[in-house]
Chains A and B, each alone.
Chain A
């Protein structure tokens, strides 16, 4: 009986960068920045729903990393540590700006996600038949917990064990959230394909 297991963690590739950063190496810090600016931005954007605030969160997070690199104790992967700082920073920004991680009246939740547009279609003899499927509504309707797992695991590609550690829930819960989020997205997007075809990207933008 073969067992599917996550890849065993080799040496953390970010550790040398963080150690060099702790020693004041700006180039190493720049490399760390390069590796994490996009994933942290996406994570913050998914929680804050505003590009400007997400930018603030990333700035505060990475500035804190520069200042606190020496305090990294190695009890987790560097990436988990970074996301943890970002999560804490997001919480501070939410408090500071009273950002609604908005719970809408019907229980649906505001993601602030853009109408990303999933393109399933192609050109054929008759001309262009691009069918854009808007995922904004589907993501909006996910709970913050499910959305967080989708962004961390599906979009940013974090191993599920790391997502569990970061979100402080059991691995089984992470798997369950991802499973149901996937089913929901598939069902929702499949419905949208049938209903609305060309509805898409132009309808919604970030602030």
Chain B
């Protein structure tokens, strides 16, 4: 993908199109830092792309939540796998001291996000949607507070600046 996402780019529509094409990779933390920063900068000034990013994040959050195996299934799976492979497990392995399987999988959460305990944007993108869409007058002031908080809460749009 070749695109100039800087402010000097000639065609704003083309920038938005290319940014939207990269949103999934952006939200997954799969872009180079420079590209991630360029998109973050663009999102600060483009409500349409910000809304699109919030929308994708919302879908992902919903799908992740709905398709999670849950702690009971995780634990059952671990026990079943262990029972299945037991003959080859070293006899001195103390499986009783292994940590619980409860909690979300960290897979594919970029290290900076994992360290912050946040899946990219999921916690705060909901309010951002409201802010952009202007759905609720009552919540708007809260969102206005939430956005600056996002600066320090590792919201991906505003990180690495």
Contact = CB atoms under 8 A, between A and B. Distances in A.
A41 B62 contact: no
Nearest to A118: B62
A8 interface: yes
B59 A157 contact: no
A2 B6 contact: yes
Contacts of B31: 4-7
A119 B98 contact: no
A1 B4 contact: yes
Chain A interface extent, by class: 35 or more
Residue among A37, A151, A157 with max Cβ neighbours from chain B (10 Å): A157
A119 B58 contact: yes
Interface in A23-78: 24, 26-27, 30, 33-39, 41-42, 45-46, 51, 54-55, 58-59, 62-63, 66-67
Contacts of B89: 24, 26
Contacts of A8: 32
Contacts of B34: 2
Contacts of A154: 24, 56, 59-60, 63
Nearest to B109: A157
A168 interface: no
Contact of A155 (B63, B109, B136): B63
Nearest to B23: A182
Given A63-B85, A116-B63, A159-B28, A37 B139 contact: no
A59 B84 contact: yes
B127 to A, nearest CB: 8
A179 interface: yes
B78 A5 contact: no
B3 A37 contact: no
A140 interface: no
Contacts of B18: 4
13 contacts: A3-B1, A6-B31, A26-B95, A39-B107, A42-B67, A59-B81, A63-B81, A63-B85, A114-B67, A115-B66, A120-B133, A124-B136, A160-B25
Closest CB pairs A-B (n = 8): A157-B108, A157-B28, A38-B105, A116-B66, A26-B93, A116-B62, A122-B136, A42-B67
Interface of A: 1-8, 24, 26-27, 30, 33-39, 41-42, 45-46, 51, 54-55, 58-59, 62-63, 66-67, 79, 113-125, 135, 151, 153-160, 175, 178-179, 182, 185-186, 189
Given A42-B68, A122-B136, A155-B64, 15 more contacts: A3-B1, A4-B18, A4-B35, A4-B38, A5-B1, A7-B31, A38-B74, A39-B105, A58-B69, A114-B66, A120-B129, A121-B135, A154-B56, A175-B21, A186-B52
